[in-house]
């Protein structure tokens, strides 16, 4: 028995050492490996397959909103960053700069993109001439670099993959509406595809994106009670349009300045999946984005007809569009069970001589570890139904877990006690920056998002009248 559990025993206890558990899972399930440059990661095929599924789904949703894909250069002239003062100040500590090319010092240093507002803004100023060119909606799937001091695979690395959408509009109302449209697209994707419930809304001025007028966020609760900012949508107003001269001839023949937005998610979403759904056995992947939705494990594989029956089942599932693999390795069934559980495959099918004779298969759910007997007749539809049930149940379980850990506080002691216990804490805020800073200093919690539509009588810090309710949490 000890040999069968060897694979599971290689990861730390999720309840005793969550950070080490996370590191063990991402490495031992072969999602990533460490790159040769400090702070970088190599995304291995299993991890990249998750990203490909995320990319495919989101890309289709973006295109439904009229967004077109493009690609912009990795290297950006440093002079571009000086055009929007708040933006350059916000990113300056993280920018990696190229000063030598071809063995010669460059006339102008080039930034390795930390984000692309500047280069895309400069191109939009060339492409947009008339109101007929608006709205302009572009997106790029690319890598970015931010010279992080403290890193962790997927959550914060010096180089990572993401998408960044950028749009230009004729009016403020249209730009603000599109900002919220993309936030809605993200929220729907998080909940229906990743089975991760999120709180969405506006960030405080302190926490908003450098150069934005307003930043809207998705905040997801991880199993340790910390928040993960999982994606953002920004209303830029005319800040970048003025800096990069994005102007157009309006219908009245007057030259006007455009309004811009940007929105993005990254490979950080894979970290969100791991920390929202994972357990003591490893990964638990939502079926929609799992690289393999189903694994077939032959029982008594050497007996006549077993492998043939498994291959026939595999072919049937593949034909129905289910991502399935047949494990024909010479490892024992117990070892295979542990390995595929660690990898988070949503459904494991066990098929042996007795099952074949009885016209059934054993299906084990990864999310609940429950086993059920399922008829082999019309197997593909039965497995599809099971996958849909798992997807739905994973979201409900994550939402229940989160909602049970949202608490209210009326003072600093309440906020501290709440976050120490691994909760999201809702508290009144007067709107004063000093009060927001004090909470971070004394509790290590930050303002994650406005709780719109809620009210509290007093600010939890100073006791003055509360203007807003804020969700506070410790965060990654």
Same domain, 86 and 233: yes
Is residue 368 located within the same domain as residue 261?
no
Per-residue pLDDT tens over the stretch 378-424 = 999 999 999 999 999 999 999 999 999 999 999 999 999 999 999 99
pLDDT tens digit sequence for 411-461: 999 999 999 999 999 999 999 999 999 999 999 999 999 999 999 999 999
Within 10 Å of residue 445's Cβ, how many Cβ atoms? 25
What is the C-alpha radius of gyration for the chain, rounded to an integer number of angstroms? 25
Is pLDDT at 168 greater than 70 in this prediction? yes
Asked if residue 208 and residue 335 are part of one domain, the reply reads: no
120 in any annotated domain: yes
Tokens representing 384? Answer: 């599809």
Burial tier of 147 (Cβ tally within 10 Å: 0-12, 13-18, 19+): middle
Stretch 204-221: mean pLDDT: 95
Q: How many CA atoms lie within 13 A of 385 on its CB side?
A: 8
Give the CATH number of the domain where residue 322 resides.
3.40.50.800
pLDDT at 7 over 60: no
Q: pLDDT per residue over 336-362, tens digit each? A: 999 999 999 999 999 999 999 999 999
Mean per-residue pLDDT for 229-239? 97
- Exposed/middle/buried for 452, CB within 10 Å: 0-12, 13-18, 19+? exposed
Predicted local distance difference test score (pLDDT) of residue 81: 84
- pLDDT attached to residue 91: 67
- Could you give the percent of the chain with pLDDT greater than 90? 92
pLDDT of residue 87: 60
Q: How far apart are CA 376 and CA 135, in angstroms?
A: 53
Rounded distance between C-alpha atoms, residue 274 and residue 280, angstroms: 12
Domain membership flag for residue 13: no
Structural domain total, the chain = 3
DSSP-derived secondary structure for 289-310: T-S-SEEEEESSTTSTTHHHHH
Query: Is residue 259 included in any domain, yes or no?
Result: yes
User: Which is nearest to 173 in space by CA: 125, 114, 237?
Assistant: 237
Within this chain, do residues 270 and 318 fall inside the same structural domain, yes or no?
no
How far is it, in rounded angstroms, from Cα 80 to Cα 88?
A: 9
| 46 lies in some domain | yes
Considering the domain architecture, whether residues 260 and 306 belong to the same structural domain is answered as no
Quote the mean pLDDT of the chain.
95
Taking the mean position of all CA atoms in its chain, how far away is CA 34?
20
CA distance 150 to 122: 32
Strands (E), 10-71: 32-34, 41-43, 68-69
Q: What is the pLDDT of residues 235-282, one digit of tens each?
A: 999 999 999 999 999 999 999 999 999 999 999 999 999 999 999 999
Contacts of 266 (CB under 8 A, 6+ apart): 160, 161, 162, 163
Query: How far is residue 26 CA from its own chain's centroid?
Result: 15
Domain boundary among 388, 420, 453: 388
pLDDT on residue 362: 97
Same domain, 174 and 215: yes
> Could you tell me if residue 24 is inside a domain?
no
- Between 88 and 376, the more confident residue is 376
In a domain, 397, yes or no: no
Angle at 273 between CA 196 and CA 320, to 5 degrees: 85
Domain annotation covers residue 256? yes
Question: Do 323 and 451 share a domain, yes or no?
Answer: no
Pair 444, 419: CB distance under 8 Å: yes
Average pLDDT over residues 192-203: 98
As a whole number, mean pLDDT of residues 47-68 equals: 98
Lookup result for tokens 């070892």 = 335
End of a domain among 277, 302, 317?
A: 277
| In a domain? residue 22 | no
* 430 and 346 belong to one structural domain: no
Distance CA 30, CA 3 (A): 21
**Residue 210's pLDDT band (boundaries 50, 70, 90)?**
confident
In DSSP notation, 318-367 reads HHTT--EEE--SSS-HHHHHHHHHHTT-SEEEEE-HHHHHHTEEEEEETT
For residue 145, the tally of other CB atoms under 10 A from its CB is 19
Would you put residue 430 in left (φ > 0), alpha (ψ -120 to 50) or beta?
alpha
Instruction: Check whether 88 has a pLDDT greater than 70.
Output: no
Q: Is there a single domain that holds both residue 122 and residue 185?
A: yes
Domain that holds residue 358: 294-388
Is residue 328 pLDDT above 70, yes or no? Answer: yes
**295 and 325 in contact (C-beta within 8 Å)?**
yes
CATH code of 414's domain: 3.30.110.30
Mean pLDDT of 155-172: 97
Residue 2 binned pLDDT confidence (cut-offs 50, 70, 90): very low
Give the domain-ending residue among 277, 312, 335.
277
* CATH number of the domain residue 57 falls in: 3.30.930.10
Same domain membership, residue 246 and residue 98: yes
Residue 212 and residue 68 share a domain? yes
Q: Does the pTM of the predicted model rise above 0.85?
A: yes
402 φ/ψ sector (left φ>0, alpha ψ -120 to 50, else beta): alpha
**DSSP secondary structure string, 155-196?**
TB-SEEEEEEEEEEESSHHHHHHHHHHHHHHHHHHHHHTS--
Q: What pLDDT is recorded for position 9?
A: 55
CA distances from 449 to 272, 390, 455 (A): 18, 29, 14
| Pairwise pLDDT comparison (345 vs 302), residue with the higher score | 345
**437 in the same domain as 362:** no
- CA–CA gap between residue 345 and residue 212 (Å, rounded): 40
Per-residue pLDDT at 90: 64
At residue 10, the pLDDT reads 83
């Amino acid at each position: 028995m000890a040999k069968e559990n060897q694979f599971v025993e290689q990861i730390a206890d999720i309840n005793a050492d969550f950070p080490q558990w996370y590191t063990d899972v991402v490495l031992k399930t072969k999602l990533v490996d460490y790159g040769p440059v400090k702070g970088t990661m190599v995304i291995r095929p299993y991890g990249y397959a998750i990203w490909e599924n995320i990319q495919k789904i989101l890309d289709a949703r973006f295109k439904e909103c009229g967004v077109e894909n493009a690609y912009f250069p990795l290297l950006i002239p440093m002079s571009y960053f000086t055009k929007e003062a708040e933006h350059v100040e916000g990113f300056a500590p993280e920018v990696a700069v190229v000063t030598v090319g071809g063995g010669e010092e460059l006339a102008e240093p080039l930034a390795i993109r930390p984000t692309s507002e500047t280069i895309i803004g400069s191109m939009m100023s060339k492409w947009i001439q008339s109101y007929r060119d608006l709205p302009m909606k572009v997106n790029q799937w690319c890598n970015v670099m931010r010279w992080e001091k403290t890193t962790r695979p997927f959550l914060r690395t010096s180089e990572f993959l993401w998408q960044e959408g950028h749009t230009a509009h004729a009016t403020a109302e249209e730009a603000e509406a599109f900002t919220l449209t993309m936030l809605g697209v993200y929220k729907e994707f998080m909940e229906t595809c990743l089975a991760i419930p999120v709180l969405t809304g506006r960030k405080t001025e302190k926490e908003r994106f450098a150069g934005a007028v307003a930043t809207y966020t998705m905040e997801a609760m991880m199993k340790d009670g910390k928040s993960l900012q999982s994606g953002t949508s920004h209303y830029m107003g005319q800040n970048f349009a003025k800096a990069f001269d994005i102007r157009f001839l309006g219908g009245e023949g007057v030259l006007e300045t455009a309004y811009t937005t940007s929105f993005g998610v990254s490979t950080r979403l894979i970290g969100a999946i791991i920390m929202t759904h994972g357990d003591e056995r490893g990964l638990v992947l939502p079926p929609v984005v799992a690289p393999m939705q189903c694994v077939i494990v032959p029982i008594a594989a050497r007996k006549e007809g077993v492998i043939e029956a498994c291959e026939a089942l595999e072919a049937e599932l593949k034909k129905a569009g289910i991502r399935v693999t047949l494990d024909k390795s010479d490892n024992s069934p117990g070892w295979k069970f542990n390995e595929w559980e660690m990898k988070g495959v949503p459904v494991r099918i066990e098929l042996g001589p007795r099952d074949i004779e009885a016209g059934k298969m054993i299906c084990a759910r990864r999310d609940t570890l429950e086993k059920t007997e399922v008829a082999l007749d019309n197997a593909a539809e039965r497995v599809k139904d099971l996958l849909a049930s798992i997807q739905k149940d994973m979201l409900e379980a994550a939402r229940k877990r989160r909602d049970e850990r949202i608490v209210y506080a009326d003072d600093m002691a309440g906020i501290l006690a709440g976050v120490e216990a691994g909760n999201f804490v809702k508290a009144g805020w007067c709107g004063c920056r000093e009060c927001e800073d004090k909470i971070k200093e004394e509790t290590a919690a930050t303002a994650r998002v406005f709780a719109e539509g809620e009210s509290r009588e007093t600010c939890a810090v100073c006791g003055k009248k509360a203007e807003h309710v804020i969700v506070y949490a410790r965060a990654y």
